[in-house]
Amino acid sequence: MSTPTETDAESRARDILGVSRLTNPALSSWLQGLPGVDQVGCEARAASLGTRSVKTTSKEWAIDTAIGMIDLTTLEGADTPGRVSGLCTKALSPDPTDLSTPRPAAVCVYGDMVPVARQTLGDGSGVKVAAVATAFPSGRASLAVKLADTADAVSAGADEIDMVIDRGAFLSGDYRTVFEQIVEVKRVCGGARLKVILETGELVTYDNVRRASYLAMLAGGDFVKTSTGKVQPAATLPVTLVMLEAVRDWRELTGVQVGVKPAGGIRTSKDAITFLVTVNEIAGEDWLDPFWFRFGASSLLNDLLLQRQRMRTGAYSGADYVADDSPSLY
């Protein structure tokens, strides 16, 4: 039975762990008891999936699907209202010469740019506004600051929040702090979906990636996301494979489906299609939907548009066919 101050997330977590109190030792024991990741096997499986060939009809579907899964992103200190507005305009009409081109799933910006994105996208476009929060990208701030950061973005109109975990707390084994922060941010999100950024490049091992994924899901995250895009390596295929295994197994364990978002360094159509093949093979067809899988990217859209036009017209366009206004890290 829950205590008067216990959250629903904590009560659910106690039930899943089979403990009477959700202590740091209990979380540590459960997370450390997860099956280890075979590094050699994981990387070999990812390499094998990267060699799969995709035939023309399937490639057309994959390109359109990938476009519809993009969180079109600009996260630079030099972002201006004009730049964000331009990115949103591009999301509304990715290829003005072909109005059948799908729109990206969302535009992802800093919280102070949410009103600009909201105004430009308008209502009914189908393109969500995502905002990074919780002292992105470092996550080095008090919980009060992180919650205020999130609340500001939500009140400004963000449909989705991309938060960063406290990697220092996680790596020092303070899983309870990470859990509580995700729970509190999720509470402040209200109806906005929460993507939990693990910053896998700083977690070092695949075992840590698996544990962080489970911890994020245990705390109620709607998505697990690889990276901020500010740390290398970012969205590698083996890391994404581990996260896809985690969400697949989590649904089998709890009946709850959680999304996955690789972000940073995915720039080509070939890369995107390889990720989609991996989604299908590891998690399954249910995740081949923008509600459950996203790419954090901007330059990726340009390459997908060029490939799409080549398949439609039989010829590549020049380099100036699409505007290349994307940040270098994405």
Catalytic residues: 162, 225, 261
- For 99-154, the DSSP string reads TTSPPPSEEEEEGGGHHHHHHHH-SSSS-EEEEEESSTTTT-S-HHHHHHHHHHHH
Distance (Å, rounded) from C-alpha 9 to C-alpha 306?
Answer: 45
Q: Which helix (H) or strand (E) holds 196?
A: strand 193-197
Cα distance between residue 127 and residue 114, in whole Å: 13
DSSP-assigned states of every residue in 153-195: HHHTT-SEEEEE--HHHHHTT-HHHHHHHHHHHHHHHTTSEEE
How would you label 8-43 residue by residue, b for 16+ Cβ within 10 Å and e otherwise? ebbebbbebbeeeebeeebbeebbeeeeebeeeebb
Instruction: Choose among 194, 206, 209, 199: nearest CA to 263.
Output: 199
Residue 39: enclosing H or E segment and its boundaries? Answer: helix 39-49
Determine contact, residues 161/130, Cβ cutoff 8 Å. Answer: yes
